[in-house]
Amino acid sequence: MTVVLVFLAVIAVIIAWWLAQQRLASKPWLEVGHLHDHRGNQPVPAAKIGLAVFLAVVGALFTLFISAYFMRMASSDWSPLPLPRFLWINTGILALSSVTLHWAKLEAERQNDEAARTSLLVAFAAGLAFLVGQLFAWRALSSAGYLLTSSPANSFFYMLTAMHGLHIVGGLAALGRVTLRTWDAPIDRQGRLSIGLCATYWHFMLAVWLVLFALFSGWANDVVDLCRQLLT
Amino acid sequence: MVDVRSGIGEAVPPAEVEDVELYHPHSWWTRYVFSQDAKVIAIQYATTAIAIGMVALVLSWLMRLQLGFPDTFTFIDAERYYQFITMHGMIMVIYLLTALFLGGFGNYLIPLMVGARDMVFPYANMLSYWIYLLAVLVLVASFFAPGGPTGAGWTLYPPQAILSNTPGGKDWGIILMLSSLIIFIIGFTMGGLNYVVTVLQGRARGMTLMRMPLTVWGIVTATVMALLAFPALFVACVMMLFDRLLGTSFFMPAIAEMGEQLQYGGGSPILFQHLFWFFGHPEVYIVALPAFGIVSDLISTHARKNIFGYRMMVWAIVVIGGLSMVVWAHHMYVSGMNPYFGFFFATTTLIIAVPTAIKVYNWVLTLWRGNIHLTLPMLFALAFIVTFVNGGLTGLFLGNVVVDVPLSDTMFVVAHFHMVMGVAPILVIFGAIYHWYPKITGRMLNEALGQLHFWITFLGSYAIFFPMHYVGLVGVPRRYHDLGEAAFVPESVHSLNAFISVAALIVGAAQIVFLFNLVWSLRHGREAGGNPWRATTLEWQTPETPPPHGNWGKELPVVYRWAYDYSVPGAPEDFIPQNQPAPGRVSHEAAS
């Protein structure tokens, strides 16, 4: 559960940092009449904060899955499964999707609506391709005899990729909605915000995938071992 | 660093907080059923939670009938008894308490108390309720599924939860339970995002964090904890569903059943316990923190005195929220662990007593020389303090590893957690309903019926749970359908059990009085007016009662002072609303 504690510590630091700016040591009973409200007149859009909080929840979810993975991995009967080459291509596709979405965001901010729309479409297609690629990876593994129940590493692999895939499906739904909305009208402030939020979510899911990929391929173990040696 | 600035003569722009576009309902359906108004959603949440809570209440009656009068009610066999235990626990903790405090009070009070028109994401808020309702329906469906609901105990520990000799283990029971929890968590996340972001971004001009009522502090801290803790339950449920449906072995060790080797192997039941209690312990405080906050406001209002040590109260809420995320393994002392871990978790557990004790002292000091009105909300608040101290003290016993080991799995534990997270928060819920009902409906609840309800509930729950501690100290184990002939169980325990059961029946019946009062007062209650308790917080200052969609009429309120200006020396009245400017400036506006 060390992974979870590290994650909690990060969240705690963020909350503490934010609380430290909120004048928690002030004496509100002495401050009658004065507004003392240090919020600016241009608040951060609520949707941005909402996405940040949501990503913290998703982060907690995957951190818990990963710490379960580490706890299970410590047992003696653990045997990692060989990763299909396919996953490298999938990783590339997801990265491409993330990059084009970022591109879309930049183009929308520069008011190049046409370019933004094209890159949105490319990002959507790449996201879809990633999902299809994951299905192919599943098929390659299961036809090679690595079934869901045949070893704990397999179970974790299928479950975690399924979880990640479901989050990508949700992201694609949101992305599709944004793409349709911005299709025939000029991209306004709301549209730019939505595209930016999609990009943030996509980068986050890419990061989660990279962590999972590192976990499955065994590099994460080396990092963890290194940390352990540094600590002891 | 005294920072006294009265700000007299300073020009204040009225509302620089951006006003929001509200969704305007077009039909009866979107106004009252698929409503995006947080107040309607709150009432929907509360009604559903109370309805399913009544089911859990009946289940507790059935269990008490069996314990008090064994062999009398033959339809309560061992299997049914375990199903009742499981459903009672799960419904009360998650579908009643969590949903009512966060979904009910959170939705109603957060926008009103911070001066917002509505939650920031009304559509997600509406979805949150309907997904919660779906979770409740899936849970209820398990009563009618073949094999009945799961009887694994509310902790759902594997491997027994999905073995075929546990009720619901091989049938639908456990599947429906796990699915229902997963659905609940998805719905809660949508609501939870709303509560947090509304407090962060939706506050009215002048409503700094340190001017928020403690109710909001409690609810929002609990929500943050829930957002971080519920994923653990989600993970545990998903993995157990995989084990049950797809044959993986996340939690299932190699195990034989009825002389037959099952296909499972290598999984870790302890892993489930870690995940479950990583959620389960914060859950205690997810229920307790909103209760702490609400009680602070009730006491301050009905004792006509500012809350003692407001800053300390805020810090204590935040510290309790943080600490409670790192105490989970004290539920697992008997599962066995590294002694150093046991020491760590015992220490963190006992440290939580410090901020909690600070809160209790501050409540008592708020009452000290206050102008105490023994109204119904105040009675319930006082009852809460007493009950919470009682339940908390037995928690200090159980927090120690050496004391916990012999007491674990006895009725002592049952008595402890019912006092501290059953009775205590429920008393706050009642107090809060008596307090805010006038704002929600425009009418007061009936006082005589309320007094009847209070005294039976308060004294009755002591009649139930005080003797239960002794039953536990004697060594009577929990989760036993029938004690049978055990040498260590004296005859007196059996008569005590019968007494407890009778008390439980009476207390349960008293809740019918409460429900009747809720319905009857809708039409026949005394007209309340906008601010019957003469309270300072924003929700009592709305232009109309009950507040309409959008809450504030044309202009958002502006906040000039903290939430506890009661009995200010020299003020014409014994309360000054939060939106009243400092004296010497536009005082006629406040009077109107």
Tell me the pLDDT tens digit for each residue of A56-72.
999 999 999 999 998 88
Q: Is residue B41 scored above 80 in pLDDT?
A: yes
Q: Is residue B35 scored above 70 in pLDDT?
A: yes
Q: B-chain residues within 8 Å CB-CB of A56? A: 227-228
What is the DSSP secondary structure assignment for residue B31, as one 8-state letter?
Answer: I
pLDDT at B260: 86
Sequence-separated (6 or more) residues with CB below 8 Å from residue B579: B115, B538, B541, B557, B558, B559, B560
Q: Is residue A96 scored above 60 in pLDDT?
A: yes
Cα separation, B199 vs B196, whole angstroms: 5
pLDDT at B18: 61
Q: Is residue B170 scored above 80 in pLDDT?
A: yes
- Interface subset of A 73-92, CB within 8 angstroms of B: 75, 77
pLDDT at B447: 94
Q: Give the nearest chain B residue to A153 (CA atoms).
A: B250
Sequence-separated (6 or more) residues with CB below 8 Å from residue B249: A149, A152, A155, B243, B264, B265, B266, B267
Q: Is residue B10 scored above 90 in pLDDT?
A: no
Q: Do B210 and A23 touch (CB under 8 A)?
A: yes
- ipTM, two decimals, is 0.94
| pLDDT (average), residues B66-75 | 90
pLDDT at B19: 64
Q: A-chain residues within 8 Å CB-CB of B4? A: 30-31
- Interface subset of A 157-176, CB within 8 angstroms of B: 159, 163
Q: A-chain residues within 8 Å CB-CB of B564? A: 29
Measured between CB atoms, does B123 come within 8 Å of chain A? no
To probe the interface with A, which of B210, B251, B262 has the most A CB atoms within 10 Å? Answer: B210
Q: A-chain residues within 8 Å CB-CB of B228? A: 8, 11, 56-57, 60
More confident residue, A146 or B592: A146
Q: A-chain residues within 8 Å CB-CB of B10? A: 33-34
Q: Give the nearest chain B residue to A21 (CA atoms).
A: B209
Q: CA-CA distances (angstroms) from residue A49 to A12, A13, A22, A121, B476?
A: 17, 17, 17, 26, 51
Q: Give the nearest chain A residue to B564 (CA atoms).
A: A29
Measured between CB atoms, does B322 come within 8 Å of chain A? yes
AA letter at B32: Y
SS3 content of chain B, % helix, strand, coil (to 5): 65, 0, 35
Q: Do B263 and A149 touch (CB under 8 A)?
A: yes
pLDDT at B590: 42
Could you tell me the pLDDT band of residue A121, with boundaries at 50, 70 and 90?
very high
pLDDT at B3: 41
- Cβ–Cβ under 8 Å, residues B215 and B262: no
Q: What is the pTM of this model?
A: 0.93
Q: Cα distance from A70 to chain B (closest Cα, Å)?
A: 11
Q: B-chain residues within 8 Å CB-CB of A149? A: 246-249, 263
Q: Is residue B319 scored above 50 in pLDDT?
A: yes
Q: B-chain residues within 8 Å CB-CB of A54? A: 189, 193
Q: Is residue A204 scored above 90 in pLDDT?
A: yes
Q: Do A25 and B311 touch (CB under 8 A)?
A: yes
Q: Is residue B592 scored above 60 in pLDDT?
A: no
Measured between CB atoms, does A65 come within 8 Å of chain B? yes
Measured between CB atoms, does B586 come within 8 Å of chain A? no
Q: A-chain residues within 8 Å CB-CB of B537? A: none
Q: Is residue A76 scored above 50 in pLDDT?
A: yes
CB atoms within 10 A of CB B152: 26
**Percent of chain B whose pLDDT exceeds 70:** 95
Measured between CB atoms, does A46 come within 8 Å of chain B? yes
Q: Is residue B13 scored above 80 in pLDDT?
A: no
pLDDT at B1: 36
For B189, the closest of A4, A27, A57 (CB atoms) is A57
Q: A-chain residues within 8 Å CB-CB of B8? A: 33
Which of A70-79, A130-139, B249-258, B539-548 is predicted least confidently?
A70-79
Which of B135-139, B162-166, B192-196, B236-240 is predicted least confidently?
B162-166
- Cβ–Cβ under 8 Å, residues B337 and B366: no
pLDDT digits (tens, 9 = 90+) for B90-133: 999 999 999 999 999 999 999 999 999 999 999 999 999 999 99
Q: Do B227 and A57 touch (CB under 8 A)?
A: yes
To probe the interface with A, which of B110, B185, B208, B568 has the most A CB atoms within 10 Å? Answer: B208
pLDDT at B16: 54
Measured between CB atoms, does B533 come within 8 Å of chain A? no
Measured between CB atoms, does A223 come within 8 Å of chain B? no
Q: Cα distance from A64 to chain B (closest Cα, Å)?
A: 6
Q: CA-CA distances (angstroms) from residue B92 to A20, A58, A202, B284, B339?
A: 36, 27, 38, 12, 33
pLDDT digits (tens, 9 = 90+) for A145-181: 888 888 888 999 999 999 999 999 999 999 999 999 8
Q: Give the nearest chain A residue to B197 (CA atoms).
A: A50
Could you tell me the pLDDT band of residue A101, with boundaries at 50, 70 and 90?
very high
Q: Is residue B587 scored above 60 in pLDDT?
A: no
Q: Number of A:B CB contacts under 8 A? A: 169
Q: Is residue A124 scored above 70 in pLDDT?
A: yes
pLDDT at B562: 92
Measured between CB atoms, does A155 come within 8 Å of chain B? yes
Cα separation, A19 vs B232, whole angstroms: 25
| pLDDT (average), residues A178-207 | 92
Q: A-chain residues within 8 Å CB-CB of B1? A: 25
To probe the interface with B, which of A35, A67, A169 has the most B CB atoms within 10 Å? Answer: A35
Domain boundaries, chain A: 2-231
3-class DSSP assignment, residue A34: coil
Q: Which of A83-87, A108-112, A120-124, A226-230 has the highest mean pLDDT?
A: A120-124
CATH T-level topology, domain A2-231: Four Helix Bundle (Hemerythrin (Met), subunit A) (1.20.120)
**Percent of chain B whose pLDDT exceeds 90:** 69
Q: CA-CA distances (angstroms) from residue A48 to A55, A200, B22, B66, B114?
A: 11, 9, 19, 54, 20
Tell me which residue of B26, B14, B119 sits closest to B551, measured CA to CA: B119
Q: Cα distance from A217 to chain B (closest Cα, Å)?
A: 20
Q: Is residue B14 scored above 60 in pLDDT?
A: no
Q: Is residue A228 scored above 80 in pLDDT?
A: no
| pLDDT (average), residues A13-25 | 89
Could you tell me the pLDDT band of residue B482, with boundaries at 50, 70 and 90?
confident
Q: A-chain residues within 8 Å CB-CB of B275? A: 64, 68
Sequence-separated (6 or more) residues with CB below 8 Å from residue A36: A23, A26, B5, B206, B208
Q: Which tokens go with B578?
A: 């939060």
Q: B-chain residues within 8 Å CB-CB of A23? A: 208-210
